[in-house]
Amino acid sequence: MNELRRVDYPDPHRARTRALLRAHPEIKKLLGPTWWTPALTVLLVAAHLGLAALVSALPWWVAPLAAFAVGAFLSQALYAVLHECSHLLAGRGRALNRVVSLFANLPLLVPVAISYAHFHLMHHRHQGDPARDPDLPGAIEHGLARGGFVGKLLWQAGFPIWQVLRTRGMPAPRQKGWLAANVIVQAVFAVGLALWLGPSAIVYLALSLYFTMALHPIAARLVQEHHVVREGQETYSYHGALNAISLNVGYHHEHHDFPAVPWTRLPALRRIAREVYEEELHTHRSWARLWWRFMTDPQLGPLSRVVRGEAAAAPAAERAERVTSRA
């Protein structure tokens, strides 16, 4: 059903967290940061920039092909690093995590590290609240949702834009110094890279970031996480092979239940609570299959989401006004 599901019950993750800790107290041993993340970040940044240098020496048409075939996966892994840093899982201390996130941000070109952390944590705190969850669709997306296959294609193609528009009207990050550092570092890096390697390298990195969010099978992750394919369930995991090169970013249900468990230990969490994550909850096995289902199934679309809270209970006209203010 391609329309919002309004519910009157709270975010289910908190209750599930308490229940699982009672049933499996050993889960507490999985909590806390891992040094694998900053170590892997160095390798990912080096690989991405190395490929950008290689692409810059080849014909122009290699850049988009390389971005689609390889770069998108590297950018998704780096985005997963930003995600880990937002939960302080890349090491001890907030400052270290922000430094790691700034470094991981370099090949992504756009200064997103600090703002992403802010809005992602808002999503965790206010899941499903149209007034405070920046992961919910805005007004323009509501219009595209009614456009069938073409509307969904436009929604997919423009997702990086919608993601920015969703945050309008929401509290901005308060870490002004870190925000400024993020912008300055990215600007200096992008200009220096363009002067050193030329436009092909910039095109490769820019398209790599774009394909993590649009017009690529791995972009189905954005559908996988919270689009309802089974009534009564609002968060979904992907347990397919591509988790191996994506820092287990598909383990979304496990992550929402235990955001303090780093990516390296999410498979262990799944094994411990097998009765929930493998038997009770619906999971996806293929991003490509999900992407095709999303595009072709009229019952699934951008509005297949759960909403709650005062904004969700408001009259339709008032809700429309609220989402319009975000777009």
* pLDDT per residue rounded down to tens, the chain (327 residues): 678 999 999 999 999 999 999 999 999 999 999 999 999 999 999 999 999 999 999 999 999 999 999 999 999 999 999 999 999 999 999 999 999 999 999 999 999 999 999 999 999 999 999 999 999 999 889 888 887 899 999 999 999 999 999 998 898 898 899 999 999 999 999 999 999 999 999 999 999 999 999 999 999 999 999 999 999 999 999 999 999 999 999 999 999 999 999 999 999 999 999 999 999 999 999 999 999 999 999 989 999 999 998 755 544 434 434 443 444
Query: Which pLDDT value is given to residue 1?
Result: 62
Tokens linked to 168: 């309008």
SS (H, E, C) 193-258: HHHHHCHHHHHHHHHHHHHHHCCCHHHHHHHHCCCCCCCCCCCCEECCHHHHHCCCCCCHHHHHHC
SS3 assignment, position 117: helix
Query: Which pLDDT value is given to residue 17?
Result: 97
Query: Which pLDDT value is given to residue 327?
Result: 40
Number of domains composing the chain: 1
Contacts of 100 (CB under 8 A, 6+ apart): 37, 38, 41, 81, 85, 90, 91
- Assign residue 58 a region: left if phi > 0, alpha if psi is -120 to 50, beta otherwise? beta
Query: Which pLDDT value is given to residue 289?
Result: 96
Range of the domain at 60: 5-324
Query: Which pLDDT value is given to residue 312?
Result: 54
* Rounded-to-integer distance, Cα 119 and Cα 217, Å: 24
- pTM here is 0.92
Query: Which pLDDT value is given to residue 139?
Result: 86
Q: What angle do CA 107, 108, 112 make, to 5 degrees?
A: 135
Query: Which pLDDT value is given to residue 145?
Result: 81
Tokens linked to 114: 């600090």
* CB 309 within 8 Å of CB 129: yes
